[in-house]
Every structure is written in C-alpha cells, then in structure tokens.
Chains A and B, each alone.
Chain A
Amino acid sequence: GAGVSQSPRYKVAKRGQDVALRCDPISGHVSLFWYQQALGQGPEFLTYFQNEAQLDKSGLPSDRFFAERPEGSVSTLKIQRTQQEDSAVYLCASSSQRDRVSNYGYTFGSGTRLTVV
C-alpha cells in the first residue's frame, strides 16, 4: 500500500481482556517499529523488527506484551490481560533501510487508540 496501515483504529477492551493490534507496513520495507504514545507524551519505543527477526524488544513494558512479524511483512502487537495503564495510542512505523543506524526518517501509521476500561 501507499502508507503504513494500522487496525483497528480504535479499540476498547475490558480490563483483563487480550487484544491484538495489526500493522501493515509499506510493501518491501525491511524495518518495522512499534511505539506506545500516552496522552500528552511523545512516542516511546517498544520493539524493532528487521524482516521477521525481532532484533530489539527492550522497550516492551512487561511480559504481557508480545510482538511478531512471522513473514517479514505484517506485524501484530499482542497485549495479554490488559490493564488500565496500557491505555495509549500504539503506533507502527516502517523504513526501507536495512542498516541498524538508519539515516532516513520513518513512515508512521495513524495508530490504534487502545482504551482499557
């Protein structure tokens, strides 16, 4: 597609429920990132994939968070047993650059706004 697509756009989950957030990166983009953005804050890094390999998951806040990209294209961020502090916008970004230190900007999706009630 022309841009990074995320779905759903909005998700309301009851506390304790599992959720799955989807990211369709730009076709052919090697690098894929997940970020979490709390209200009024800047995005915070969660995890990074290069193709299907998850090379960095240091930003995942707990073992309830899990991300995968099994075929090196679409990625899913799963949150188990959601809690109220998980409420945030989850942003996905992709980049065509393969190098770990990219000198190009990322293309972001519009995000999924998760509200845990």
Chain B
Amino acid sequence: SQQGEEDPQALSIQEGENATMNCSYKTSINNLQWYRQNSGRGLVHLILIRSNEREKHSGRLRVTLDTSKKSSSLLITASRAADTASYFCAIRSGGGADGLTFGKGTHLIIQP
C-alpha cells in the first residue's frame, strides 16, 4: 500500500517560477526522501531529510518536514524546462520495515 500522498497530482508552471509539492503520510518515520522520475526512466534520489530535521537545502531544492502534521514539502526555485518530471516522496518508516514506501507522485510540467 502507498502511504505517502503527494499533492497536487499534477502541476504546470512557467519556466522561472517556483514549484511547490506537498507530501502527507500516516505513520512515524525515520526519514523522508524525494525522488525524481523522467518519463520511462528510473528514479533519481534528490534529497533526504531525517525525522529530527525541519529543513534542508540542495541547490535549487528546499525540503521542509513537519512531523507534527506528518507532512513535507519540496520547493524547486527558478524552475527550468529540464525539471519537467514526476516527483515522488518516499517514507522510511520507524517500524523497522526495510523498504521505502512511495506516494503516487506529482507530475510537474515546466512550460518554456
């Protein structure tokens, strides 16, 4: 079953604008990760935030985590056409499960 839920399911913005995607989850977590998937390709790891962290940056990416609300957001600043892809959050639960639990993803389209 898929625990993480991304919102919105689809997002279309103009190049240069910022894109924000949200993820909600239900159980306790050890960490939360964001991945990007281009059409027909595998997933690429973007950023990992631990349960005791609240914010993390990597280049044009900013991730926040609110464990009290069981939610995370991914912000992509100054978007580029190459950012067009599907973005998934993945939960590493605190229950000892070995795999990541992914959401259904947000499909982001950057219009030139």
User: How many residues on chain B are close to A (CB under 8 Å)?
Assistant: 28
Query: In whole angstroms, what is the CA distance A93 to B98 when docked?
Result: 13
Chain A residues touching B, majority SS: loop
Interface residues of A in 68-117 (CB under 8 A from B): 91, 93, 100-111, 113
Min C-beta distance of A75 to chain B, whole Å: 14
Q: Which residues of B contact A48 (CB under 8 A)?
A: 98-99
Query: In whole angstroms, what is the CA distance A56 to B101 when docked?
Result: 14
- A42 lies within 8 A of chain B by Cβ: yes
Query: In whole angstroms, what is the CA distance A53 to B31 when docked?
Result: 24
Min C-beta distance of A82 to chain B, whole Å: 21
- A62 lies within 8 A of chain B by Cβ: no
User: How many residues on chain A are close to B (CB under 8 Å)?
Assistant: 29
- Nearest to A59 among chain B residues (CB) is B99
**A56-B98, A105-B33, A106-B100 known; A42+B88 contact, CB < 8 A:** yes
**A106-B45, A108-B42, A108-B44 known; A42+B102 contact, CB < 8 A:** yes
Query: In whole angstroms, what is the CA distance A105 to B40 when docked?
Result: 20
Q: Which residues of B contact A43 (CB under 8 A)?
A: 43, 88, 100, 102
Query: In whole angstroms, what is the CA distance A4 to B42 when docked?
Result: 10
Which of A44, A58, A101 contacts B102, CB < 8 Å? A44
Min C-beta distance of A6 to chain B, whole Å: 8
13 A-B pairs besides A45-B99, A106-B100 with CB distance below 8 A are A42-B4, A42-B103, A42-B104, A44-B102, A45-B100, A48-B98, A93-B43, A100-B96, A105-B35, A105-B48, A106-B43, A108-B35, A111-B42
